[in-house]
Amino acid sequence: MFIRPTAALAAFLLVSAAPLAGAAEKPTDPQIAHIAYTAGVLDIEAAKLAIQKSKTKEVVDFAKDMERDHEAVNKQALDLVKKLKVKPEDNATSQALTKAAKEERAKLA
């Protein structure tokens, strides 16, 4: 599994997206849950695009691993928020991540 490298990437994206969000306040736990889940969904979408577009076996294999791993992590995250009775809350950081990913996908299409 590629959890550690992708967790580092997610942390980097989270930190680098904070200025885009323009939020001076620290995010709440429900907002953090939403950010983490959103980052996972975006990684899954990127993996699917790589599987569709790439002709390199290593890239496709990595993308399949990434898709599988992020789907598993997102399922665990959903199970955890249900158990803790936390409702993920949309926020500026999640929206900025989604917007940036959409723009990047448009460049690759």
- Looking at the domain assignment, is residue 4 inside a domain? no
What is the spatial distance between Cα 38 and Cα 59, in angstroms, rounded to a whole number?
23
pLDDT value of residue 18: 53
Domain span holding position 68: 28-108
Neighbours of 19 (CB within 10 A): 10
pLDDT value of residue 108: 86
Q: What is the pLDDT along the chain (109 residues), one digit of tens a residue?
A: 444 555 555 555 555 555 555 556 899 999 999 999 999 999 999 999 999 999 999 999 999 999 999 999 999 999 999 999 999 999 999 999 999 999 999 998 7
Task: Give the list of residues 6+ apart from residue 88 with CB closer than 8 angstroms, or none.
Answer: 30, 31, 33, 34, 37, 81
11 CB-side CA count, 13 A: 6
- Looking at the domain assignment, is residue 2 inside a domain? no
Instruction: From 87, 91, 82, 77, select the one nearest 35 (Cα to Cα).
Output: 91
pLDDT value of residue 2: 47
Our count of domains for the chain comes to 1
pLDDT value of residue 25: 86
- Looking at the domain assignment, is residue 35 inside a domain? yes
- Looking at the domain assignment, is residue 22 inside a domain? no
- Looking at the domain assignment, is residue 12 inside a domain? no
